[in-house]
Chains A and B, each alone.
Chain A
Amino acid sequence: NAGVTQTPKFQVLKTGQSMTLQCAQDMNHEYMSWYRQDPGMGLRLIHYSVGAGITDQGEVPNGYNVSRSTTEDFPLRLLSAAPSQTSVYFCASSYYLGTGELFFGEGSRLTVL
C-alpha cells in the first residue's frame, strides 16, 4: 500500500518554464488537495478536488492548474513558473473532506530561478 505518491521530489526550473507535479493515491480517497508551504506561512491550499471531474480553487490558486480525470490522480500544473512559486509542495488526500485524516505525500521541493 503506497499511500500518496508525489513526483518529482526535487525540481529546478527557469522563469517561464512549465511543469507538472504528479500526485497519485491508492486508497480510493475522494478528496485530494495541493498545498504549498513557505517559511512562516504554514500550509496554504492551492486547489482541491472532492471527486473525479470536480476541482475548485483554494487560497492561492493563481499560476496553477489542476485536473481530476480519475480518482487516483491529481496533477498540479505550473503554467509559467515564477520565482514566487519557489516552495515545497504537498499533495494530500482523505476519504472525505474534514472528517477524515489527511494523508500527505512526501513533498516536492521546487526552485524557480
Chain B
Amino acid sequence: QQPVQSPQAVILREGEDAVINCSSSKALYSVHWYRQKHGEAPVFLMILLKGGEQKGHDKISASFNEKKQQSSLYLTASQLSYSGTYFCGTEIRDNYGQNFVFGPGTRLSVLP
C-alpha cells in the first residue's frame, strides 16, 4: 500500500533543481507533500486533489497525474533551507475503507 518514492536521496548545490517522484499501485484521491528536518515533525508543503492539477508556492511546485497514479515535486533554484527529507502522502480508498499512507521519503541535501 505504501507509495514508492524516487530517488531515495539526492545531493544538490545551491541554485540547482531537483525532482522527487511518488507513485502508487492503487488509485489515488489526493497527494500530500511534507518536508521533515532532522529531529522535527513533518511540515506540510501542499495538497493536490484528484483532477490532475499542478500547484506551487515560491520555488516549490508539484503535479498530480491521477491516471498514472503519480505525483512529482519540483524544487527549483534550491536553497540551503530546502535540505531535509521529503515525504509524499497518499489517500487511498479501497475495499478496506479510506486510508492515508506515506512513502519512505527522499533525503535532499543542499550544499553551499
Contact = CB atoms under 8 A, between A and B. Distances in A.
Interface of A: 33, 35, 40-45, 48, 50, 56, 58-59, 90, 97-107
Nearest to A94: B100
A104 B41 contact: yes
Contacts of A42: 2, 87, 102-105
A44 B41 contact: no
Interface of B: 1-2, 29-30, 32, 34, 40-44, 47, 49, 87, 89, 91, 97-105
A99 B100 contact: no
A69 B41 CA distance: 26
A90 to B, nearest CB: 6
Given A43-B89, A48-B100, A59-B2, 13 more contacts: A42-B105, A45-B101, A58-B101, A98-B30, A98-B91, A98-B100, A99-B30, A101-B44, A102-B89, A102-B100, A104-B43, A105-B41, A107-B41
Given A104-B41, A107-B41, A98 B29 contact: yes
Nearest to B89: A102
A39 B1 CA distance: 19
Given A58-B101, A59-B101, A106 B41 contact: yes
Contacts of A103: 44
B42 A104 contact: yes
A33 B103 contact: no
A38 B21 CA distance: 21
Contacts of A40: 104
B104 to A, nearest CB: 4
With a 10 A CB-CB cut-off, give which of A33, A45, A48 has the most chain B CB atoms.
A45
A44 to B, nearest CB: 7
A56 B32 contact: no
A44 B47 contact: no
Contacts of A98: 29-30, 91, 98, 100
A99 B47 contact: yes
B91 A35 contact: no
